[in-house]
Every structure is written in C-alpha cells, then in structure tokens.
C-alpha cells in the first residue's frame, strides 16, 4: 500500500516557506550561544549570536535589527535589543545580547532578526533563572522616593560627577585641580560611596564618554575615531557600570549637554552636516527625520549594551535644554520643537527599555511650554544656583502644580566658574551641606545634587554625606518610603518636619554667627513623641532629651542649644502604648 504523507497545518507550511524565503534572501541566524551558564534574577546573562544579513551599517535599525525576546513565568513577552560586535554585512557577523532576567523561574528566550528583505527567528531556549538577592531596577513612585522592583524604597543621595578630569580645562582659578589625574570614576565613585552617597549624575559629551563623537575635545583620555560609536567611550562606560555596581551606587546618565549645540560644540557635533551628519542647524537635530532616526538608533545601542544594569538608574536626555532653545535670544527655538522631540524619544526609549527605569530631562532656569506635562517623563528637573534656601518651596510648589516628582539636578552657592571660590569657601561648604538637608526634608526622590565635585573633594566637604545618610536610612526604615509632612515651629517660625511611619523628624538650623537656644513646638499629644533624641551630624552623636510631659496642647521642647552654623535633627519616636 502506498505511503501516506503526514498532514501539515497551514502555520507549519507557512513557517517552512518563510524560512526558505529568508534563507534565500541571505537572512539567517546561524547560531545562538548562551555564554553565561548560571542565570540569576537581575544579573547579567550574555548571549553570542552569529547571523548573516545584508547591511552596510549594523547600527541602522532600518537595515538590520536583532532583538532578544524573553518571557518569564507570567507569560508576558518583552523585547531587548542586541548589538553588533564584529563582521560585515552579507557574511557571518557576531552580535551580543546582555540580558538581566526580571523574573526567577523558567524563562523562555529566542532571537528575532529583522531586515527589509526578510526576517527570521531562532529556536526558543528554556533558561531556568535562580532567585536573586538584588533589588532590581528603579522606578518612579511618587514625590518622595523611587522604588526597586522588589518594592524597596530608594532616595538618591549624592552629587554631580559630571566628568572625569579633562585637559585643557577652562577654569581660571582651579585648572590644575580639575586636570588632576586622580579625578577618574574609580576614585570619584569610591569616595562618594565611602562618604555615604548612593547616587551621582554624569555626562556624555565631547570630552567624557563621547559615544557618538568622532572628534573629541578637551581630553587626553579619548582620541578621535571614525566608527559610528566611539569604541573607547563604550569601553569606559562598561567600566563605569562595573564601578557603580561594585560600590552599590546608582547614576543618572545625561545623554547630551547643551554645550554640544553651542560654538565649538556644534562644530564637533556628529549630527552636524559639516561632520557628515544629517542636520544643517541645531534646530534640524530636533526636526530632521534623518537626525531623529539616528538618535533613535543611539538609544537602541544604549539599551542593548548597558540596559541590563540596575545601577544605570535613570536616563536623562538633556542637560539644560533651555540653553539650546535660546541659542539665539532674538529668535528662540519654538517650544513645540523641543516638546515634540522629547515626547517622541521618551516613547521610543520606553519601548526599547524592558526594565522601565525612569526617564527625564532638565532645564537650567527657564521652563519650556508643555515639557513638564509630558507623560513620558517620569520626573521634572531644573537647576538652582545662588538660591539654596528656595529648595523646599520650589520642590513643594512644583509637585503641587505638576503632580509629578521634581528633582534639583544641580545646585550651588555659585555657578560662575570665573570666580575664585576660595574667597568664599566657607559659604560654599555651608551651602553644600544645607542643600542636602533641605532636600532630605522636602518631596523629591533624588536629593539636590551639588556641582563642583573636584572643589568639594579637595576640601573634604563631601564628608557631609555621612550625617545625611544616617537620617536618610532611619526615615526609610521607619516609614518604608512613606512620608507625611508635619507642622512644627522653632521659636515661632515654621521648620521642616516629616512623619515616617511612627517616627517624626524635625530639621533645626542656625545659619547665624552666634549660638541660639530654641524652643520647638509640635501640635500633638506628648505621648506621641517618646523617646526624643537630638542628632548632631558633625559628630554623629545622639543626645537623649527629657520626655515631654503629657498635656493638652502642643508638645514643647525648650532650650535646645544650636551653635553658630549648626544643623541638628530632632527625632521623636511614637508611643508604643
């Protein structure tokens, strides 16, 4: 009797036909190798993929795109971009994927290769993922804190580490300091962590992590290159991510500074048509489809290569984008140009990044119509100099007006780098400390970040992080990330106070030049404030105060001594009865 052929379903027939067509078009995934054999939740797992596809630029996603699709036990699929490592189009080329499993348990992964002439998929792999000890990735969670995947609260405490030492530097008075070779990431991040900091902000620009800059400036660390992405910058960002992970710190990566669109910055900018880019003017960077497509592919590369790390905590598109708007004060760039660009890129970045970390941008001091209302930006951000006392009011008003967390990405006693800070060094130091404390008692998920990191490191001012970290940890432990503002007075004037769980913290300051003795009042039952302790950040010492007596009316703590220039924190524990 004749043999009968097995019946084939239409999906099976179509899949076979699809594979034959893509193979004929030269689109093929040759092999997939899982390099990291032990997969742990929230830790990096590497894959190597060898593929063949026709392309001239492997970083142009319109020509070729490789994605890793992963699916945890919940059955929800997520896509993660992969990136090109070596090889040319039309021949076997090597690609990498860096995956951080979001969920423990059985995960399924496969690769998708997409080109204009065809697409194909690899066979699915089953990857057992062990539960990890890490907390996962950061996410926006209200005005006071960020939260990790596991729900644990986080508040950023740190400073700007804008760039590593550069040469030549443009400071009139501190050039030698700014050029000192000790100011590299290993030193800077190590010092931050040793002093109690857990967060920093750093730039990508023509002299620091110049990922897109073929022509660099003011740096001996990097040399000019000709590739689409600067290999030295990529290698250094690999190292920075490792440094942050080893120190337990997190950072905000600023993808573009306004100086890239001004003067010499625009002359070297890779998007400038004079350098082979797609934009004839800075405005065309935002409006040209070719420029926007190039930028979207930059975002793709960033997520593919470094998106796996929880320590890259926040994406920031621009430093002080308002300066770009006002390049020509007589003819500012239309606000809708900037707002439309940010809306597009925020949506694109969210689609690329399967880990959902926060996205933001910043202005110096001028708002841009519509920018703060964009839903794609998780928190709004501005910089505040010469007005540190305004931090609490600014943060509260912005939250009330915009309903979105607000961050002061830079602050300081002085912004003008042509001045000699040594002439008012004491005021610089005091302002550094005050900004941290005012931020700690104000609604912001990242405490204000000071500028002038080299100057403060040289003076030892950054030791002030330690005292703030003590109260910061007590606040989070007491309330689990919940904060409620409390009405309090010192000598009849309002002072900052918050309740975290069953504990109240009150900030006391003496900015004067002589000792003060304060009377502090809180409108609540005295039994709610036992025990009471006073913390001295300068020494790290706690002093137990006599328990307030139960009585109707406000709770009063009298005759609290504050030396000139001192800061104290009054911690009041809730009654256990």
pLDDT grade, residue 530 (50/70/90)?
low
- Whether 191 has a pLDDT exceeding 90, the answer reads yes
Residue of 343, 307, 360 lying closest to 156 (CA atoms): 360
Look up the pTM and report it.
Answer: 0.94
Mean pLDDT value across residues 323-351: 97
Strand locations in 351-464 (E): 359-360, 380-385, 406-412
Q: What topology does CATH give the domain 15-130?
A: Immunoglobulin-like (2.60.40)
Name the strands in the sheet holding 153-154, side by side, starting at the edge strand that comes first in the sequence: 139-140, 146-147, 153-154
Q: In this model, does residue 526 exceed pLDDT 60?
A: no
Q: What is the pLDDT of residues 214-232, one digit of tens each?
A: 999 999 999 999 999 999 9
Whether residue 514 is predicted with pLDDT greater than 80 in this model: the reply is yes
Same fold, 139-479 and 484-573: no
Residue 512: band (very low, low, confident or very high) from pLDDT cuts 50, 70, 90: confident
What is the per-residue DSSP string for 306-369? HTT-TTEEEEEEEESHHHHHTSSTTSPPPHHHHHHHHHHHHHHHHHH-TT---EE--BSS---T
* Percent of the chain predicted with pLDDT > 90: 88
Chain segment 367-418, per-residue pLDDT in tens:
999 999 999 999 999 999 999 999 999 999 999 999 999 999 999 999 999 9
State the angle between helix axes of 465-479 and 425-440 in degrees (0 to 180), rounded to the nearest 10.
Answer: 0
Position 556 confidence tier, pLDDT thresholds 50, 70, 90: confident
Residue 518, pLDDT above cutoff 70 = yes
109-148 pLDDT tens trace: 999 999 999 999 999 999 999 999 999 999 999 999 999 9
Give the model's pLDDT for residue 8.
Answer: 38
Confidence of residue 573 (pLDDT cuts 50, 70, 90): confident
- Assigned CATH for 139-479: 3.20.20.80
In the predicted structure, residue 494 carries a pLDDT above the cut 70: yes
Q: In which band, very low, low, confident or very high, does the pLDDT at 5 lie, cut at 50, 70 and 90? A: very low
pLDDT category of residue 94 using cuts at 50, 70 and 90: very high
**Quick one: pLDDT at residue 263?**
87
Nearest to 154 by CA among 311, 364, 286: 311
Q: Which of 17-26, 209-218, 253-262, 354-363 has the lowest mean pLDDT?
A: 17-26
What is the DSSP-derived secondary structure letter of residue 70? E
Model confidence at 17, pLDDT cuts 50, 70, 90, reads very low
pLDDT of residue 7: 42
Rounded to whole angstroms, the Cα distance separating 512 from 516 reads 8
Q: What is the mean pLDDT of residues 494-512?
A: 94
149 has a pLDDT exceeding 80: yes
Would you list the domain boundaries of the chain?
15-130, 139-479, 484-573
CB 321 within 8 A of CB 338: yes
d(CA 385, CA 49) in angstroms, rounded, equals: 49
Helix (H, G, I), strand (E, B) or coil at 34: strand
- For residue 264, the model assigns a pLDDT of 87
Using pLDDT thresholds of 50, 70 and 90, give the confidence band for residue 21: very low
Calculate mean pLDDT across residues 154-182: 97
Average pLDDT score over residue span 445-467: 98
pLDDT at position 183 over 60: yes
Q: What is the DSSP letter of 41?
A: T
Under 8 Å between Cβ of 488 and 538: no
Tokens representing residue 71 in the block = 């699916």
Enter the DSSP assignment of 574: P
Distance CA 573, CA 555 (A): 13
pLDDT of 574: 61
CB burial of residue 135 (10 Å; 0-12, 13-18, 19+) = middle
CB 140 within 8 A of CB 153: no
What is the Cα–Cα distance from 13 to 494, expressed in whole angstroms?
76
In the structure encoding, which two tokens stand for residue 108, read together?
Answer: 């399924």
* 461-472 confidence digits (pLDDT tens): 999 999 999 999
Domain 484-573 homologous superfamily, CATH:
Golgi alpha-mannosidase II (2.60.40.1180)
pLDDT value for 527: 54
Distance CA 183, CA 189 (A): 10
pLDDT score recorded for residue 1: 36
For residue 11, is pLDDT > 50?
A: no
The pLDDT tens digits of the residues spanning 428-447 come to 999 999 999 999 999 999 99
Q: Using CA atoms, how far apart are residues 256 and 229, in angstroms rounded to an integer? A: 15
The rounded mean pLDDT for the chain is 93
DSSP assignment string, 226-275: -SSS-HHHHHHHHHHHHHHHHHT-EEEEEEEEGGGGSTHHHHH-TTBGGG
How far is residue 358 from each of residues 77, 101, 346, 379, measured CA to CA in Å? 21, 19, 10, 8
pLDDT value at position 548?
62
Express as a percent the part of the chain with pLDDT over 70.
Answer: 93
* H/E segment holding residue 190: helix 185-194
pLDDT of residue 511: 86
Largest CA distance in the chain: 110
- Give the pLDDT of residue 477: 97
Give the model's pLDDT for residue 76. 94
């Amino acid at each position: 009797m004749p043999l009968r052929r097995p019946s084939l379903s239409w999906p099976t027939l179509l899949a076979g036909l699809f594979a034959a067509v893509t193979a004929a078009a030269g689109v093929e995934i040759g092999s997939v190798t899982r390099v990291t054999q032990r997969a742990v939740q929230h830790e990096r797992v590497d894959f190597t993929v060898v593929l063949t596809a026709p392309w001239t630029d492997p970083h142009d996603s319109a020509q070729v795109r490789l994605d890793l699709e992963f699916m945890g036990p919940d059955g929800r699929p997520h896509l993660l971009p992969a990136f090109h490592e070596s090889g040319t189009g039309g021949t076997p080329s090597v690609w990498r994927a860096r995956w951080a499993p979001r969920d423990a348990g059985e995960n399924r992964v496969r690769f998708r290769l997409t080109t204009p002439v065809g697409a194909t998929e690899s066979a699915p792999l089953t990857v057992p993922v062990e539960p990890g000890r890490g907390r996962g990735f950061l996410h926006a969670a209200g005005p006071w804190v960020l939260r990790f995947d596991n729900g644990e609260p986080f508040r950023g405490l740190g400073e700007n580490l804008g760039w590593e030492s550069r040469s030549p530097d443009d400071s009139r008075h501190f050039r030698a300091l700014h050029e000192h070779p000790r100011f590299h990431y290993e030193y800077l991040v190590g010092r931050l962590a040793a002093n109690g900091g857990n967060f920093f902000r750093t730039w990508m620009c023509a002299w620091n992590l110049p990922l897109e800059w073929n022509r660099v400036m003011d740096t001996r660390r990097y040399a000019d290159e000709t590739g689409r992405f600067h290999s030295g910058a990529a290698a250094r960002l690999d190292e920075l991510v490792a440094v942050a992970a080893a120190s337990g710190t997190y950072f905000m990566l600023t993808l573009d500074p306004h100086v890239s669109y001004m003067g010499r910055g625009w002359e070297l900018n890779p998007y400038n048509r004079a350098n082979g880019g797609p934009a004839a003017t800075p405005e065309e960077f935002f409006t040209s489809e070719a420029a926007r497509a190039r930028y979207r592919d930059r975002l793709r590369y960033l997520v593919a290569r470094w998106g796996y790390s929880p320590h890259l905590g926040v994406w920031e598109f621009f430093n002080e984008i308002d300066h770009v708007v006002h390049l020509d004060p007589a003819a500012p760039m239309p606000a809708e140009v900037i707002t439309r660009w940010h809306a597009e890129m925020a949506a694109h970045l969210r689609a690329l990044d399967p880990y959902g970390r926060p996205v933001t941008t910043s202005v110096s001091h001028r708002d841009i119509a519509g920018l703060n209302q964009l839903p794609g930006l998780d928190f709004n951000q501005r910089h505040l100099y010469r007005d540190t006392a305004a931090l609490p009011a600014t943060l509260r008003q912005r939250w009330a007006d915009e309903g979105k967390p607000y961050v002061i990405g830079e602050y300081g006693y002085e912004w003008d780098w042509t001045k000699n800070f040594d002439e008012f060094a004491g005021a610089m130091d005091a302002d550094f400390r005050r900004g941290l404390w005012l931020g700690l008692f104000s609604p912001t998920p990242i405490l204000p970040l000071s500028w002038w990191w080299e100057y403060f490191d040289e003076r030892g001012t950054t030791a002030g992080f330690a005292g703030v970290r003590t109260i910061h940890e007590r606040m989070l432990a007491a309330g689990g990330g919940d904060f409620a503002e409390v009405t309090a007075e010192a000598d009849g004037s309002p002072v900052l106070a918050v309740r975290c769980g069953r504990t109240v913290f009150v900030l006391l300051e003496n900015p004067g030049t002589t000792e003060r003795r304060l009377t502090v009042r809180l409108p609540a039952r005295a039994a709610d404030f036992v025990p009471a302790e006073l913390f001295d950040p300068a020494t790290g010492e706690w002093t137990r105060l006599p328990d307030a007596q139960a009585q109707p009316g406000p709770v009063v703590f009298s005759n609290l001594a504050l030396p000139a220039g001192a800061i104290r924190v009054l911690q009041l524990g809730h009654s256990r009865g």
